[in-house]
A = this chain, B = another copy of it.
Amino acid sequence: MSLKHTILLLLAVFSLGAFAQKQPVEYVNPFIGTSNFGTTNPGPIAVRGMVSVSPFNVAGPKNLPLEKDSRWLSTPYVQENTFLTGFSHVNLSGVGCPELGVILAMPTTGDLEVEHFKYGTTYSNEVSKVGYYSNTLDNYNIKVEATATTRVGVSKYIFPKGDANILINLGLGLTNEQGASVRVVSPTEIEGVRSVGSFCYYKPEEAYPVYFVVQFSQPADEFGVWKKPTTYNGAEAQWMGYNGKTRIMPGYTKEVVGDSIGSYMRYKFREPTVVEMKVGVSYVSIDNARENLEKETSTHSFDQIWAETKENWNKYLSKIEVEGGEEEDKIKFYTALYHTLIHPSTLNDFNGDYPKMKTRETLKTKDTRYTVFSLWDTYRNLHQLMSLVYPRQQSDMVKSMLQIYDESGWLPKWELNATETTTMVGDPAGIVIADTYLKGIRDFDVEKAYSAMIKSADQIDGNPLRPGLKDYLEKGYLTTKTTNSGSVSTTQEYNISDYAIAQLAKALGKKEDFNRFSKRSVSYRNLFDKEFNLLRPKNDDGSWLTPYNPESGANFEKNLGFIEGNAWQYSFMVTHDTKGLIRLMGGTKAFASRLQDVFDKGQYDMANEPDIAYPYLFNYVKGEEKRTQKMVSNLLNKYYKNAPAGLPGNDDTGTMSAWAVFSMMGIYPISPANPLYTITTPKFNKITIHLDTDYYQQEKLIISSNITKENQFIENISIQGKPHKGYFITHEELVNCKFLEFKLNN
């Protein structure tokens, strides 16, 4: 060993030592996912926070081609953009449709300018950590820092000497909804309402208000409101010299309402001055927004608030401790875990108030009422991760789904802030409920849940969750006549939901239902076409859709058989019946070969959910398990990076991240509603999951391995020293085993 090598080794050891003391929060890099359409943002947020403070750099022609209105851009922040027009206070993370991104605050200096394309600026010195974001606004030399509690965004603006402005822009937003009301309460407070809604351009009639109160640490020297009115084109326009022009209303203290309005605070600083700004939010009322602000931030300083938020994050992230392995993997792992703890997020106010589904009457909840249920995504792995590591949260999520059922008559599909957006397909809530129950998390009204599941499974008329149910029940599948997109894939989704009902029926002793729904759950088999050895749409008369190209549907191309995918990306999405599929395909060998084809033909789409479990399916073919281990490892390396483009695509409210978290722990919940994990190579030497003893008997589960760069393949697996057969482990085995040990080789 040369001296050079010795120094490098010493540096490595030193670094390792230094890293070993790092807390989980310190591994999180919130910039991951802020490019490549990951649609996460680097703004500070509390664990499952209602509020985040995201830098907003997607407006204005200077941000083309990633300008929000120039395409279906669904994030307030894109890493490659450079023109910042504020900080938005309610934001979605990892979704595929533009929504929220409103209550935009912007500090500026000099004269008052309220047009965002004029006051926008480039920025420097960008820093993002858990619960913290900072940058410097180039045009103004203002340093911005931001943090957040659950329902309050807190910012610190460090102004230079001279004239300064803080703008609250209620016209601009990521959402395509308009409408706001604002009132300056005093030189230190502004309150208002902003309309949002029409998620994914659906249900504009269910647009809804978000309420806010803004408080400033320094009273403004001047304040006011602005309004940009509609431009008139009729005869009256000739008399309106001000037609369409923005108006400034200085000193105004009454409500101003309209589609494009805002409020400002102006200061004249004799020396560089810090202003702290708190933005309390509520979906119920302005009073509640104010109460949220006061209860959560009280008189605490920015630094105290940040410290508390960070500490709480660390508590959650530390439920899984990882040791050994690559530093980069720890960053990827904890950032992924962080992303799974953003949505579902908190809907209720500090006092328990929350809006009823659709009509938005005020209701009260004891437990947290969660929102942002992107269930077509999250039923596959995110809720399984919650059940394992955060069962209290998972229980509250199930209870939230039952509240939604109580309020609206139906379980959620894609619920967002007490509106059912009915985005995507299938009937996924019951899958999550069954999965949760079968994992022993049972502190909810399971009979009610079961009734809700049966309702959407059996009610043909007026069923918002299962369109095409009549065909499905009569023929076993949806046809090219039933729907103009996704007849096969929707059949598969219904099969999985029916499987979930069957499993829950079994657990509840409902034998008849078990039989009925078990039978229904494999009706996809009618759509298996031996000619292609893949699924294929059928017409209303039972004939195959002809001509047929199983590749049509890739890259989200709209097609008759599959939603957001093609036959390759969907045919194996029957993990509740993989053995049945193997038989249909002609045995394990043919199955493994067809599965390999998906990858070899470039049909595998890591960026979307239908084929998300595919890499694990080789575990169903004895002797082919290394393919899973290799494939998962390759995908983790290829698509997950410590970089803005470090997610495969939309994070899908944490689903992509949950895939990484499980995959890096060496276990994956292969079949939703089946309390079973399949196994791959873990990425760390020691993974300690601190189990919640309210739900589990053991305090810890330790997954250990001799992972190195060379040792990537599983030689054997043992539980507390006893050999474990095969590449599957039940939930019960896992949470009770204490030690799951991997012996790896190369």
Q: Could you list which residues of chain A lie within 8 angstroms of chain B, going by C-beta atoms?
A: 69-72, 98, 176-181, 193-195, 198, 201, 204-209, 227, 229-230, 232, 234-236, 239-242, 245, 247-249, 251-259, 261, 355, 358-361
Jot down 30 A-B pairs with beta carbons below 8 A, ordered by A.
Answer: A69-B234, A70-B234, A71-B235, A72-B239, A176-B236, A176-B240, A178-B229, A178-B230, A178-B258, A179-B227, A179-B256, A179-B259, A181-B181, A181-B257, A193-B257, A194-B257, A198-B240, A198-B242, A201-B240, A204-B245, A204-B247, A209-B255, A209-B256, A209-B257, A252-B358, A252-B359, A252-B360, A253-B359, A254-B355, A259-B259
Closest 5 interchain pairs by CB? A179-B258, A205-B247, A179-B257, A254-B360, A251-B359
A180-B257 in contact (CB<8A): yes
B201-A254 in contact (CB<8A): no
- Nearest residue, chain B, Cβ from A186: B361
Residue in A98, A179, A360, A361 whose Cβ sees the most chain B Cβ within 10 Å: A179
Q: What distance in Å separates the Cβ of A665 from its nearest Cβ neighbour in chain B?
A: 39
B360-A181 in contact (CB<8A): no
B193-A358 in contact (CB<8A): no
- For the complex, give the distance between the alpha carbons of A193 and B207 in Å: 19
A249 / chain B contacts, CB cutoff of 8 Å: 205-207
- Nearest residue, chain B, Cβ from A68: B236
- Nearest residue, chain B, Cβ from A355: B254
A261 / chain B contacts, CB cutoff of 8 Å: 179
B181-A207 in contact (CB<8A): no
- For the complex, give the distance between the alpha carbons of A474 and B725 in Å: 108
- For the complex, give the distance between the alpha carbons of A257 and B178 in Å: 8
- For the complex, give the distance between the alpha carbons of A360 and B249 in Å: 11
Contact residue among B72, B180, B198, B209 (Cβ-Cβ distance under 8 Å from A254): B209
Q: What distance in Å separates the Cβ of A245 from its nearest Cβ neighbour in chain B?
A: 8
A248-B176 in contact (CB<8A): no
Contact residue among B71, B230, B248, B252 (Cβ-Cβ distance under 8 Å from A259): B230
- For the complex, give the distance between the alpha carbons of A464 and B205 in Å: 46
A259 / chain B contacts, CB cutoff of 8 Å: 178-179, 230, 258-259
- For the complex, give the distance between the alpha carbons of A8 and B247 in Å: 67
Q: What distance in Å separates the Cβ of A212 from its nearest Cβ neighbour in chain B?
A: 12
A69 / chain B contacts, CB cutoff of 8 Å: 232, 234-236
Q: What distance in Å separates the Cβ of A407 from its nearest Cβ neighbour in chain B?
A: 11
A71 / chain B contacts, CB cutoff of 8 Å: 235
Beyond A179-B227, A195-B258, 15 additional contacts (C-beta under 8 Å) are A72-B236, A176-B232, A178-B229, A178-B230, A195-B256, A201-B241, A201-B242, A204-B245, A204-B247, A207-B247, A207-B249, A209-B257, A254-B355, A254-B360, A259-B259
- For the complex, give the distance between the alpha carbons of A623 and B236 in Å: 51
Q: What distance in Å separates the Cβ of A229 from its nearest Cβ neighbour in chain B?
A: 6
A358-B251 in contact (CB<8A): yes
Q: What distance in Å separates the Cβ of A72 from its nearest Cβ neighbour in chain B?
A: 6
A204 / chain B contacts, CB cutoff of 8 Å: 229, 240, 242, 245, 247
- For the complex, give the distance between the alpha carbons of A670 and B195 in Å: 57
A235 / chain B contacts, CB cutoff of 8 Å: 69-71
Residue in A181, A235, A257 whose Cβ sees the most chain B Cβ within 10 Å: A257
* Contact A257-B195, Cβ < 8 Å, known A230-B178, A236-B69: yes
A194 / chain B contacts, CB cutoff of 8 Å: 257
- For the complex, give the distance between the alpha carbons of A180 and B258 in Å: 6
- For the complex, give the distance between the alpha carbons of A492 and B227 in Å: 38
- For the complex, give the distance between the alpha carbons of A355 and B252 in Å: 11
- For the complex, give the distance between the alpha carbons of A205 and B230 in Å: 14
A232 / chain B contacts, CB cutoff of 8 Å: 69, 176
- Nearest residue, chain B, Cβ from A234: B69
- For the complex, give the distance between the alpha carbons of A360 and B252 in Å: 6
B72-A205 in contact (CB<8A): no
- For the complex, give the distance between the alpha carbons of A249 and B253 in Å: 30
